[in-house]
Amino acid sequence: MKKMINNPDDVIDELMTGYLIAYPEYIRRSNLHQRALIGKKRHPDRKVSILIGGGSGHEPAFLGYVGQGMADGVAVGNIFASPSPIPIQAVTREIHDNHGVLYVYGNYAGDLMNFEMASEMTEIEDDIETAVVIGNDDVASAKEIEERRGIAGELLVYKAAGAAADFGYGLEEVRRIAQLANDNTRSMGIGLSPCYLPQTGKPSFDLEDNEMEIGLGHHGEPGIEKTTLRSAKETVQVMMQNILKENIYQSNDEVVVLVNGLGATSQMELYIINKEVDEILKEKNIKTYKSYVGNFITSMEMGGFSVTLMKLDDTLKSCIDHPVDCPNFKEV
Amino acid sequence: MKKMINNPDDVIDELMTGYLIAYPEYIRRSNLHQRALIGKKRHPDRKVSILIGGGSGHEPAFLGYVGQGMADGVAVGNIFASPSPIPIQAVTREIHDNHGVLYVYGNYAGDLMNFEMASEMTEIEDDIETAVVIGNDDVASAKEIEERRGIAGELLVYKAAGAAADFGYGLEEVRRIAQLANDNTRSMGIGLSPCYLPQTGKPSFDLEDNEMEIGLGHHGEPGIEKTTLRSAKETVQVMMQNILKENIYQSNDEVVVLVNGLGATSQMELYIINKEVDEILKEKNIKTYKSYVGNFITSMEMGGFSVTLMKLDDTLKSCIDHPVDCPNFKEV
């Protein structure tokens, strides 16, 4: 492990400090909890507040998506570990505006437990209504949709939820639109090289020099198979086959494409992957409305990437078109 | 080498194709040359055009900085190799608006030769006036300023040049402001792990598992010394000592801080580094006006980072405050 850090026990607090220093006009620490961050920019029409969160190590997720047009606050967990209910409740208390709070997080056992507990606490102790959308876009993680993990597609759910909130909708309508975004979104990931956990120095998974893992999760969870390293074209073909066989994306549909790097994969490679995705979509006569290519939800210095499609209707298109102004995601 | 590519000979053309697919509203290929890209967004007050360029492998540099408020066009070289004069001339011909073209590029022998030749060609053949600013912010690369390499600080020179052009200034004034930005900017880099050249599979440098290189260049050029891996705090102290001993940054000065990842260093680490930079600046009573933290000018999947300071006066502050809208750099 070769990391530019200080004491491994301090990485979360230090990264948060460095983050707050970088973007003082966007974000502040909660008065109620050290691991709760609160956005400073909020659309004047917004009623419902959006709360996101999860484990650390995915930077710029999740704290990078607090800002105008996206989330109002974030609860920050340890590396690859859910935040406890206490910071989630703290964020909820600070961001709510008497119109309810939508929680958006990924489908992981720890997050489910902690966000559900926080939701009960805030409803009982603080009389704040909450609703929830759980990201589960990773087609490789399970056959049953309800059992699937959330990976990079969550970014698009934040975007939809944030836009719907900025449109001034109530809690149930914001939840419905965010859920629609999630339901229309499918992803698949590839692992090339592991990341190393700061406190143990252990790799997140093992692969030989000539191997890749198809369907890898964002924390190094095993995928569908380990194979020898393939070309970008062959790899994307396998990924797109798995995404397209979900039967969501049809000829003449318009989609958002998201090519997400896990950390150590070069941007050169991500753009080559984007080209391969585009060729397959053109063959299928599926239209790309918008592409996002970059490191949006990473796994520290893991090598690999994911491909995500979100099918658009008029509602989701208006959400994608809505401007956002976050430290790590700006759409003019 | 573990890269998600197709034929190594095709990486530049394929990355450009994937890039153009991602941002059709921002950028197009030149009608005159395959390796020349032209921006589609231009401030209505802009007279002077800005041309940037250099070798590939630094994505999102340099093509990511074509857009409103930054560059009007980019000449794209092979991996870590300057573009030839032909695409530079092609970009110049397409972007000029009868008020001259400013070339901004890094201080490398190949770039100097090719941009100078292109400048002569366009002045003689096309009667287009050009001016030049050469980035040389890397304090570790030579004692004499004129001999120093340009590294991540070039981003801030593009920002200053682009803003000055948007203000409607003439060529000499745009050049003067961009040169001021360069003169007020110093950087230093650290290498942790090499990148691999697609066509040879060879690493850009060799380091042991417990080693780092202080003062490393953006193509793996040797730095000041190889040492055992140090903490973020100790490493940043060495870098900041070298930057501050240039005697540019004094108590009460305002600066821009740029923490640039080289590719495979996690964003978590970059924010911890930002915290360490900030602590030293606070000790010296130097004020951070703005921080940029991210992967702005990379070296494919190289591990490492650089720290850059730019001292601000009122002119440069107005340039930093000016909005930009590029695919990979947006400032609202």
DSSP symbols for B103-164: EEEES-HHHHHHHHHHHHHIIIII---EEEEEE--BTTS-SSGGGPPP-TTHHHHHHHHHHH
| Chain A interface test: which of B12, B17, B272 (most A C-beta within 10 Å) | B272
- If residue A158 lies in a helix (H) or strand (E), which one and from where to where? helix A154-166
- The reply to whether A281 falls in a domain is yes
Contacts of B3 in chain A (CB under 8 A): 266, 269
Reported confidence tier of residue B332, pLDDT bands at 50, 70, 90? confident
Q: Are residues A134 and A24 in the same domain?
A: yes
Q: Is B301 on the interface with A (CB under 8 A)?
A: yes
pLDDT at residue number B320: 98
What does residue B83 show for φ and ψ, rounded to 5 degrees? -65, 155
Contacts of B293 in chain A (CB under 8 A): 18-19, 22
- Token pair, residue B314, equals 């009122």
- For residue A303, the domain's CATH number is 3.30.1180.20
Contact across the interface for B291 and A21, Cβ inside 8 Å: yes
**What is the ipTM, given to two decimal places?**
0.97
- Token pair, residue B214, equals 């202080």
Contact across the interface for B275 and A190, Cβ inside 8 Å: no
pLDDT at residue number A332: 86
Mean pLDDT for all residues in chain A: 97
Residue B211 to residue A254: CA distance in whole angstroms: 49
Answer left, alpha or beta for residue A90, where phi above 0 means left and psi between -120 and 50 means alpha.
alpha
pLDDT at residue number B181: 98
Q: What is the mean pLDDT of residues A133-157?
A: 97
- The reply to whether A332 falls in a domain is no
- Token pair, residue B317, equals 């502050």
Contact across the interface for B291 and A23, Cβ inside 8 Å: yes
B293: nearest CA partner in chain A = A22
A79: nearest CA partner in chain B = B268
Q: Are residues A24 and A142 in the same domain?
A: yes
Indicate if B99 belongs to the active site: no
- Other beta carbons within 10 angstroms of residue A288's beta carbon come to 18
pLDDT at residue number A87: 98
Q: What is the mean pLDDT of residues B76-98?
A: 98
Q: B236-276, pLDDT tens digit by residue?
A: 999 999 999 999 999 999 999 999 999 999 999 999 999 99
Residue B281 to residue A24: CA distance in whole angstroms: 16
Mean pLDDT for all residues in chain B: 97
Domain count, chain B: 2
Which residue, of B184, B204, B236, is where some domain finishes? B184
Residue A203 to residue B160: CA distance in whole angstroms: 42
Q: B178-231, pLDDT tens digit by residue?
A: 999 999 999 999 999 999 999 999 999 999 999 999 999 989 898 899 999 999
Q: Are residues A227 and A267 in the same domain?
A: yes
Q: Are residues A162 and A199 in the same domain?
A: no
Q: Are residues B108 and B237 in the same domain?
A: no
- Return the SS3 of B324: strand
Alpha-helical segments (H) within B23-95 = 85-95
> Which residues, at least 6 apart from B175, have a Cβ–Cβ distance to it below 8 Å?
B102, B131, B132, B133
Which residues of chain B from 211 to 240 reach within 8 Å of chain A, CB to CB? Answer: 212, 229, 231-233, 235
Q: Are residues A139 and A207 in the same domain?
A: no
Q: Are residues B77 and B154 in the same domain?
A: yes
Residue B312 has pLDDT above 90, yes or no: yes
Which residue, of B184, B199, B229, is where some domain finishes? B184
Domain that residue B295 falls in: 186-321
Q: Is B56 on the interface with A (CB under 8 A)?
A: yes
Selecting from B18, B233, B291 the residue whose C-beta is nearest the C-beta of A6 gives: B233
Q: Could you please report the per-residue DSSP string of A221-253?
A: ---SEEEE---HHHHHHHHHHHHHTTS---TT-
Q: What is the mean pLDDT of residues A178-186?
A: 98
CA angle A291/A296/A301 to nearest 5° reads 130
- The reply to whether B328 falls in a domain is no
